[in-house]
């Protein structure tokens, strides 16, 4: 039975994406590592925070506009960097970037994207952010940074929590690859996804656009597979950030912070923002949820750096709770991917509308009219995550 396409929340997008996106790529987005415990707690821990309803307050004029990295944004939300986005929907990164630009929020392109840095620059007018993985091939990384600068990217988001790859059981069982290998199981599954297949037939972007033709010796799918298996650098350490920061020369954001000591390191190296993140529960299973880690990271970081968070944000209420606990911004990954896989650019636009509307209405119920004035007092139990690791 075809699912109802009346979309009222992010869960509606998830169900529709599951219907329309090939199994291996849907599972890639909708899964965590090992037991998926951290993946699930990213969402469930938001529900433990209870909101304080206020009445008889003048809420006629409200604003959810704020600033991230010194730039005006329509709401404290940015699209997170997500790998293989162009496999959720043909030209997915381009569609996401255009929707974000029109809505007035930042878009972040992943190193492991299907569409390249140059593709995004050619299809947008406003600067976007670029997310960097540090590989063993430092010459390639240097050139990747230079390409981001040439494309006018306004921030470099350096991901620190993927020195080794978490074990993601669904990806292993599905034999994840891009494009899908022509196995019988994959062919049978693709036959049930005609909308996706037609989109892919209409584009030539079907592999990692930032890597193929740019990394030495990577010219096809076979050489790409062996290159990526060897390239994530377990030797990455805080000392490496100096040359990256110098080569980049612009706004630097550090992603993957869950520990107070690491937050202080982020301040010491001169980062402009840090992101409290457990990689969507896809790396260290058993790590704390992002929202539960947020308060002690905010405390440790102080006022010298912007603190954002990602992981489990599925609604405007989640955004409001994160802001109440001290986040200056949030990032959405799966919410973005579900909406993109379900309905393309129109889906991403609708996703952002839903989150903005939920944020605005919930803020009003809490008796606040400006997102920049929201603090812990809108929560009935803000202390539940004050002890590190408490959940």
Residue 311 annotated as lining a ligand binding site: yes
Q: Report residue 380: phi and psi, to 5°.
A: -80, -25
Residue 23 annotated as lining a ligand binding site: no
Residue 222 annotated as lining a ligand binding site: no
List, in sequence order, the alpha helices (H) in 151-205. Answer: 169-174, 184-190, 194-201
Residue 314 annotated as lining a ligand binding site: yes
Residue 163 annotated as lining a ligand binding site: no
Residue 28 annotated as lining a ligand binding site: yes
Three-class HEC string of 216-278? CCCCCHHHHHHHHHHHECCCCCHHHHHHHHHHHCCEEEEEEECCHHHHHHHHHCCCCEEEECC
Per DSSP, what are the bridge partners of residue 86?
Answer: none
Please report how many Cα atoms fall inside a 13 Å half-sphere around the Cα of residue 181, on the Cβ side: 10
How many CB atoms lie under 10 A from the CB of residue 183? 11
Marked catalytic residue, from 89, 265, 279, 296: 279
As given in the structure block, the two tokens for residue 262 are 């690491």
Which DSSP letter does residue 5 get?
-
Residue 154 annotated as lining a ligand binding site: no
Residue 192 annotated as lining a ligand binding site: no
Tell me how far apart the alpha carbons of residues 83 and 360 are, in angstroms, rounded to a whole number. Answer: 30
Residue 168 annotated as lining a ligand binding site: yes
Tell me how far apart the alpha carbons of residues 270 and 251 are, in angstroms, rounded to a whole number. Answer: 10
Say if residue 250 is exposed, middle or buried (CB neighbours under 10 Å; 0-12, 13-18, 19+): middle
Residue 255 annotated as lining a ligand binding site: yes
Does 279 qualify as catalytic in the annotation? yes
Residue 310 annotated as lining a ligand binding site: yes
Residue 81 annotated as lining a ligand binding site: yes
Residue 159 annotated as lining a ligand binding site: yes
Residue 183 annotated as lining a ligand binding site: no
Which residues are designated catalytic? 279
Binding site members for glyoxylate? 28, 133, 168, 279, 282
Residue ranges for the known binding site for FMN are 81-83, 110, 131, 159, 255, 277, 310-314, 333-334
Residue numbers in the known binding site are: 28, 81-83, 110, 131, 133, 159, 168, 255, 277, 279, 282, 310-314, 333-334
């Amino acid at each position: 039975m075809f699912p109802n396409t009346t979309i009222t929340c992010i869960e509606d997008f998830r169900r529709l994406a599951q219907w329309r996106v090939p199994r291996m790529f849907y599972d890639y987005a909708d899964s965590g590592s090992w037991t998926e415990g951290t993946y699930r707690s990213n969402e469930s821990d938001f529900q433990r925070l209870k909101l304080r309803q206020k009445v008889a307050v003048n809420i006629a004029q409200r604003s959810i506009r704020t600033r991230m990295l010194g730039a005006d944004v329509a709401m404290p939300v940015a699209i997170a960097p997500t790998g293989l986005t162009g496999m959720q929907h043909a030209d997915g990164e381009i569609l996401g970037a255009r929707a974000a630009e029109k809505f007035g929020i930042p878009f972040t392109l992943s190193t492991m994207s299907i569409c390249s840095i140059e593709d995004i620059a050619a299809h947008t007018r406003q600067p976007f952010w670029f997310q960097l993985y540090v590989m063993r091939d430092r010459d390639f990384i240097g050139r990747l940074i230079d390409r981001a600068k040439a494309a006018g990217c306004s921030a470099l988001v350096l991901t620190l929590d993927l020195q080794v790859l978490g074990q993601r059981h669904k990806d292993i069982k599905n034999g994840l690859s891009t494009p899908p290998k022509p196995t019988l199981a994959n062919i049978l599954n693709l036959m049930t996804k005609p909308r996706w297949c037609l989109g892919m037939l209409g584009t030539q972007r079907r592999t990692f656009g930032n890597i193929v033709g740019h990394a030495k010796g990577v010219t096809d799918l076979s050489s790409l597979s062996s290159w990526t298996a060897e390239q994530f650098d377990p030797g990455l350490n805080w000392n490496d950030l100096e040359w990256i920061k110098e080569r980049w020369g612009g706004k630097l954001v550090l992603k993957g912070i869950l520990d107070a000591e690491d937050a202080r390191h982020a301040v010491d190296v001169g980062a402009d923002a840090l992101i409290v993140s457990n990689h969507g529960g896809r790396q260290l299973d058993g790590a704390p949820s992002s929202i539960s880690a947020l308060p002690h990271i905010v405390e440790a970081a102080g006022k010298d750096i912007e603190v954002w968070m990602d992981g489990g944000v599925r609604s405007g209420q989640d955004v409001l709770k994160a802001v109440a606990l001290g986040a200056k911004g949030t990032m959405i990954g799966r919410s973005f991917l579900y909406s993109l896989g379900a309905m393309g650019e129109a889906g991403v636009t609708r996703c952002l509308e839903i989150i903005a509307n939920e944020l605005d209405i919930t803020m009003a119920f809490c008796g606040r009219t400006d997102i920049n004035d929201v603090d812990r007092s809108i929560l009935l139990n803000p202390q539940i995550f004050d002890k590190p690791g408490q959940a």
